[in-house]
Amino acid sequence: MTSPRPISAAVARRFLAARHFLAPPRSMPAGPQGVMAVVDRLGSLQFDPLEVAGRNHDLVLHARVADYTRAVGDALLYGTRELYETYNKGLSLVPTAHLPYFRITWDLERHRLEGTTFDEHSPLVEELLERIRTTGPMSSTDVEPRAAIAWYWRPTNQVRAILEALAQAGILGLARREGNRRVYDLVERLFPASLLDRRPTEHEQLTHKVLSRYRAHGMLSQAGSGEVWLGTGTTREDGTLDRGRARRRITDELVATGQLIPVAIDGIKGERFVVADELAMLDAAEAEVAAAGSGAVVGDPDVAFLAPLDPLVWDRDFLRKLYGFDYVWEVYVPEPRRRWGYYVLPMLFGNRLVGRIGGGVRPARGGRVRRRPRGRPRRASTVRRRAQGHPAANRTPSGSRGRPARASGGPRGRLRPGFGRQARCRGAQPRSLRARHAAALCDDDAGGRRRTHDPGSTLPTA
């Protein structure tokens, strides 16, 4: 059995910042080349349609790619199709070249739906497929709505539900999104036959998915919350799911074959795992920390805002232990129980998580949305001084009537409109990253109902 490599907490923090392209932030070249470099290393970016400061995957790329714009990501998804949407840790964007290793989700869903939904609604299934074959890509609004049926979180127009089911089963794929409305086409029109025809074994696919979680985070343990490992279970002979044991068995195999290297972090219980290809970065992190000396700032740090589902913050318990930083995405937490706000982004400065920035929205009477900002973020220059222990970071600003400035992680406080401008710094995110306190996304289905979350984005799979 391989003995874990001992490392300090400072080395672990430096390694994670470097391997996540956050040392410094926005260091990857602008355009598709920079985006694909990030995706190739992380393997998977979680998608969530909720758009307050930006969609989750766009925020992940904003933090790492210079001058990133939404159009660049959409071109890779719906133009060149170098990326596509599938289920990994929830709905995710992965390289299209990896499609054969994610077929297991399609296959499991197809097996489930063919005995239930597809049989119950077979006339509509055939009608929709025939329309797409003859007229091309189609959304749920291109067909007269039918009676609502029970579907995930709420009753849903049959047309929309069946289109989603056909996509989950790998019969249809996503041709594009128009806002948050999905437009579907046949998968054989979207992907090369050579990819669709490849059929890795179930074990090969599960191994790829388990390894993808270690790649995305950079230093996971075998434990962690079930959400981190969503979709990595296998099916027993009796049809039930074997989640944890399958993951542990595959992790042991990856260690035995040298693809994962166990490490032990000073002061943190249990083994964690680094992808073997990144050992050179771990060596470099040790050398940088040793050269800088105890407590010194390593490198030339800058500020980055991390997405709520950024791979670096997946393991919330690990954040508390390694960074001394508590983070909960409170978008689904009832308002009276929120500590920081509806939609808050962690702030990384160098190798440290130093604060939170953001605000929130909630529906007001009449369906309008009103702003509910929380906290009072410091200016970026003050964030730098605070992270470096500079006394000026704690001074009382003029005009504050004696109240000390507080980072957004402190007690609640009102924030005047335009707070996003306060967070600008050298090389800061483009304007599109400013917190746009928008209404919950509309999908414009036939009933005109407002939808705050895409049920497919957290589809429970094996």
What single letter denotes the amino acid at residue 174? L
State the DSSP string of 355-422. Answer: EEEEE-EEE-GGG-EEE-----PPPHHHHHHHHTT-GGGGSPPTTSTTPPP--TTSS-----TTGGGG
Q: What is the pLDDT of residue 386?
A: 52
Residue 109 lies in a domain: yes
Q: Which residue type does 16 have?
A: L
Could you tell me if residue 149 is inside a domain?
yes
Place of tokens 């009796």: 238
pLDDT at 97: 96
Is residue 437, in this structure, part of any structural domain at all? no
Say what the pTM is. Answer: 0.77
Q: 């296959």: which residue's tokens? A: 107
Looking at the chain, the number of H-run helices and the number of E-run strands are 15, 17
Here the tokens at position 148 are: 């609502």
Q: What is the rounded distance in angstroms from the CA atom of residue 139 to the CA atom of residue 160? A: 8
Report yes or no on 332 lying in a domain. no
Mean pLDDT, residues 193-204: 94
156 in any annotated domain: yes
State the DSSP code for 299.
S
Question: Could you count the other beta carbons within 10 Å of the beta carbon of residue 109?
Answer: 22
> Once rounded to an integer, what is the mean pLDDT over residues 94-119?
92
Domain assignment present for 416: no
Q: Which of 310-314, 320-324, 377-381 has the lowest mean pLDDT?
A: 377-381
Asked if residues 320 and 313 have their Cβ atoms less than 8 Å apart, the reply is no
Query: Looking at the domain assignment, is residue 364 inside a domain?
Result: no
**Coil, helix or strand for 30?**
coil
**Rounded average pLDDT over 314-332:** 92
| 116 domain residue, yes or no | yes
**For 145-173, what is each residue's pLDDT tens digit?**
888 888 887 888 899 999 999 999 999 99
90 pLDDT more than 80? yes
Angle CA 226–328–20, to nearest 5: 75
CB burial of residue 30 (10 Å; 0-12, 13-18, 19+) = middle
Q: Between helices 70-78 and 32-42, what is the axis angle to 10°? A: 70
Q: Which domain holds residue 190?
A: 102-196+446-458
pLDDT above 50 for 223: yes
The alpha-carbon radius of gyration of the chain (Å, integer) is 23
Domain count, the chain: 1
